[in-house]
Structure 1
Amino acid sequence: MKKLIAGGLLLAATALAPAAQAQTRAAPVKPTVVLVHGAFADSSSWNGVIKILERDGYTVIAAANPLRSVRGDADSVADLLKSIDGPVVLVGHSYGGSVISEAAEGAANVKALVYVAAFAPEAGESALALTGKFPGSTLPPTLAPPVKLSGGGNDLYILQAKFHDQFAADVPLADAKLMAAGQRPIADTALGEASTAPAWKHIPSWFIYGDADKNIPPAAQAFMADRARSRATVVVKGASHVVMVSHAPAVASQIEKAATAQ
């Protein structure tokens, strides 16, 4: 009798094994999240978002954006995308939005774009042109005297004394001072460079920004989100330009919505 029971259990286990294997195979693979910072920031600006995404099981790469030119920076990110197996959610902050729009063009593994207080330019548009399209940006008077580069052109920084109010008003002052000291400069020509390949035209996009952004006018961001037919747009009340620092959970949530969308 015991042999019959044991044999029956073995037969049942054998029958169930293929079904369990099929369920394992059917489990969706979580996309890798690639984060691209913008001007006057660096990859550490994503630290709060990274902690949440990694806790939730995502592989995250915070790309080092050169901030030299839209095309050149996009090529750098595109090279990184080629090294990643499986789907990718590509996220850009500020000028990084221009970069991801170009980098995603032709990248078959990019399943979604997320714009975090970011530019989503049309072909022929530049970051400067989009900033000036609507009133509200107070960035120009807060810039330090340009740093002349030996190879030509200029690097732009925000004056450290004005960084908190202009760039990160909803971040604790002590943290904003560290961000100001470690800010990455952008080549002035990059901000005026016209985009060529708006990947948001054929890749699903999500947007999130603050209504107290002093770098990119909120009206400009609403315009770009509507034009890109954003799957979902979140406007964070009182958030500054660095919404990913001050409201990391909201930004991480938007990224995860993009990652799990069908």
Structure 2
Amino acid sequence: MRINRPARPSRRSALLGVAAAAGLSAAVITLPGTAGAAPHHPVRPTIVLEHGAFADAASWDGVVSRLQRAGYPVVSAANPLRGPATDAAYLRSVLDHVDGPVVLVGHSYGGTVISQAAAGIEDKVKALVYIAAFLPDTGESSIGLTNKFPGSTLGEAVDYTLPDGGRGADVYIKPELFRDQFAADVPVEKARLMAAGQRPIAAAALEEKSTQAAWKTIPSWSLVTTEDRNIPVAAQRYMSARAKARTTTIDASHAVSVSHPEAVTRIVEQAARTVR
């Protein structure tokens, strides 16, 4: 003989009954997933950081730690510093292994690289952030943009000499001039370590012309450094205005990610919060 059990009230019905018995309005009872519109959960994009010449991935350490504490996944990529085409292709291979949306950040020559690497992948790269960086247009080079405006003393501070006295194809800043040229607002001991560990860049990389300008199609932010002796402040302002980047100015040296990591983190988070 089959026994038909009485239907059990649903969890929602039971809760509504309790509310009614307590003299409460049923309107105050909302179960997960039953609201008319799904709650908004902010997207946490991955922040991918690209360093520039005469630096390495460690130059982002202060920024990385702050972004991680804020809950962002972060990748501090190694830049080969061989040329925009080669370096952009390498960065694209890094981006290919990142799931979800990306905020791409470039410092100095790293701005040239991200401008090329992000072109055509607007579905993945949602924002570009330029930190004391180049924002080249198609057909422009890093050295050409540097020389377009007065103010850079980099040419007087670099060398190509190899340990055996020969001439090399790579450019580095003379260690004794590194702090004044690159990191004037960084503590002396820290600047000394940065000089010893600097990554030289191929001279040809600074002369190679860009073939893509992703800032034309991807929203951009820019941090302009007024005490910069590598990229003239006038050049930074010109490129940022041309790109219609949301621009912030700071009194800092070229090594702003080391000397003012909190300011760099702030502008990166501004860009990240726009990702939906």
The TM-score, its normalising length taken from structure 2, stands at 0.86
Letter of the 2:15 partner, please give it: L
Q: Which residue, 78, 84, 108 being the options, matches 1:64?
A: 78
Task: Write the mapping of 1:184-223 to structure 2, written as runs, cut at 5 A.
Answer: 184-223=199-238
Cα distance in structure 1, aligned partners of 2:91 and 2:181: 28
Distance of aligned partners of 1:184 and 1:10 in 2 relative to their CA distance in 1, 3 Å threshold: farther
Equivalent pair of 2:185/2:253 in contact (CA under 8 Å):
yes
In structure 2, distance between residues paired with 1:172 and 1:158 = 18
Q: Give distance in 2, aligned partners of 1:240 and 1:21.
A: 51
Taking a change above 3 Å as real, the CA distance of residues 211 and 83 of structure 1, as seen in their structure-2 partners, is same
1:132 is matched with 147
Mapped partners of 2:35, 2:59: distance in 1 = 41
Q: Which runs of 5+ in 1 are unaligned?
A: none
- Mapped pair 1:38 → 2:52: yes
Q: Judging changes above 3 Å, is the alpha-carbon distance between structure 1 residues 93 and 229 closer, same or farther for their aligned structure 2 residues?
A: same
Q: Aligned partners of 1:114, 1:21: CA distance in 2, in Å?
A: 36
| Distance in 2 (alpha carbons) for counterparts of 1:127 and 1:167 | 16
Shift in Å, 1:21: 11
CA distance 1:10–1:147, change in 2 (3 Å): farther
Bigger share in helix: 1
Relative distance call for 1:99 and 1:211 in structure 2 (3 A) is same
Instruction: Pick which of 221-230 and 101-110 moved more.
Output: 101-110
Q: CA deviation at 1:209?
A: 2.3
Counterpart code for 1:155: D
Q: Does 1:243 align with 2:243?
A: no
Distance 1:169 1:175 in 2: 11
Deviation, structure 1 residue 10: 7.8
SS in 1 for 2:204: helix
- Secondary structure of 2:71's aligned partner: coil
Q: Secondary structure at the match of 1:118?
A: coil
Q: Which amino acid in 1 is paired with 2:41?
A: A
Residue equivalent to 1:142 = 157
Counterpart in 2 of 1:258? 271
Residue 147 of structure 1 contacts residue 154 of structure 1 at CA under 8 Å; is this kept in 2?
A: no
Q: In structure 1, how many angstroms separate the alpha carbons of the residues matched to 2:141 and 2:193? A: 29
Matched, 1:182 2:197: yes
1:54 lines up with 2:60 in the alignment: no
* Residue identity opposite 2:143 in structure 1: L
* Equivalent-residue separation in structure 1 for 2:37 and 2:162 (angstroms): 59
RMSD: 2.4
Q: Give the structure-1-normalised TM-score.
A: 0.90
Any residues of structure 2 matched to 1:52-131 within 5 Å, and which? Answer: 52-107=66-121, 108-131=123-146
Percent of paired sites with the same residue: 54
Cα 1:178/1:17, change in 2 over 3 Å: same
In 2: Cα distance, 1:30 partner to 1:21 partner: 24
Instruction: Tell whether the 8 Å contact from 1:209 to 1:243 is kept in structure 2 after alignment.
Output: no
Which residue of structure 2 aligns with residue 9 of structure 1?
15
Q: SS state of the match for residue 32, structure 2?
A: helix
Q: Aligned pairs, how many?
A: 253
Asked if the contact 2:160/2:170 (under 8 Å) is kept, the reply is no
Amino acid at match of 1:77: L
Give the aligned partner of residue 28 of structure 1: 42
